[in-house]
Amino acid sequence: MAALSVVLVTGASTGIGATYADRFARRGHDLVLVARDKARLDALAVRLRGETGVTVDVLQADLTQPGDLAAVETRLRDDRRIGVLINNAGATLGGGFVDQSTDDVARIVALNTTAVVRLASAVAPRFAEAGEGAIVNVGSVVGLAPEFGMTVYGATKAFALFFSQGLSLELGPKGVYVQAVLPAATRTEIWERSGVDVNTLPAVMEVDDLVDAALVGFDRREPVTIPPLHDAGQWDAHQLTRQAMIPGFAQIHAAERYRAAN
C-alpha cells in the first residue's frame, strides 16, 4: 500500500489550521505545521504525535517575512512526500479602510494573497508533474459580499476564490485537485486579533464543524466548498449567471447603453 502523502498546513498553531492538522493526523497523514507561534506549534505536535502516532514536523515562519516565506517554499518544492497544501494562514483588520494604516493593509495583503500564491507556485509544478496532489485555499464568504464592509479582507478573499478557480481549471486536467473553502464567521482568534468581540456576532460556526464540513467537500472533490450555505442551488445559479455573461464580453463596440445619446 502506498504511503499517505504528507500534509503541510499554514496558520497551524490554532483555530482552523490546528483543526485541519488534527483531522489529517487522525486520517494517518504525517504533517508539516507552519505558523509564527513555535510554542503552540510544539504543543500541538506533541499532542498529535501522542494521540495518533504520526510524524509531525514544526516549521516556525511568519509568512509576511520574505525569508520565512522562502523557507516554506523551499520545503514545498523539495520535499516530495508533501502531497497536500492547506493554505490557511490569514488575518483581518478592524475598522474601515480610511482608518487602517497603509503598512497594516500591506501586511494583510502579503499574508492573504502573496503568501498563498507563492506557496501554491512552489508546489504546483511538482504536483502537475506527478499527476496528483491537492491545494486547499481557505477564503471567506466575505469575498462574495462587499456589503459586509470588510474591504481589504474581503478583496483578499475574493482573490483566493478566483485564484482557486483558475488553478482548478489549469491543474485539474493534470490530476491536481484545488479546493476553495469559504467559511462564514467562525469561532477563531482572528476576531480578537482584529479587535472584534466574537460573542457580539449574530451567528458563529464552531471550528470543528467548519473543518469537518470542508473535509466532506474535500473528499467529494468539490472545487468550491461553502460550509454555511444550505441551498447549493444558490451557488450553482450564481455560477450559471456568471458564465452566461462570458460570451458577451467579446465585442468590437461598446454596448448600446454606453453610447452617447444624440
Asked if 109 and 63 touch (Cβ cutoff 8 Å), the reply is: no
Contacts 24+ apart (CB under 8 A), 103-106: 105/152
Sequence-separated (6 or more) residues with CB below 8 Å from residue 51: 25, 26
- Which of 20, 153, 177, 258 is catalytic? The answer is 153
Is the C-alpha dihedral spanning 119, 122, 126, 129 positive or negative?
positive
Residues in the chain: 262
Burial class (CB in 10 A: 0-12, 13-18, 19+), 261: exposed
To the query of whether residue 20 is one of the catalytic residues in this protein, the response is no
**Rounded CA separation 204/186 (Å):** 5
CB crowding 63-98: b at 16 or more within 10 Å, else e: bbeeebbeebbebbeeeeebbbbbbbbbbbbeeeee
Compute how many other C-beta atoms are within 10 angstroms of the C-beta atom of residue 202. 5
**Rounded CA separation 262/259 (Å):** 9
**Rounded CA separation 223/165 (Å):** 7
**Rounded CA separation 17/203 (Å):** 21
Residues noted as catalytic = 153
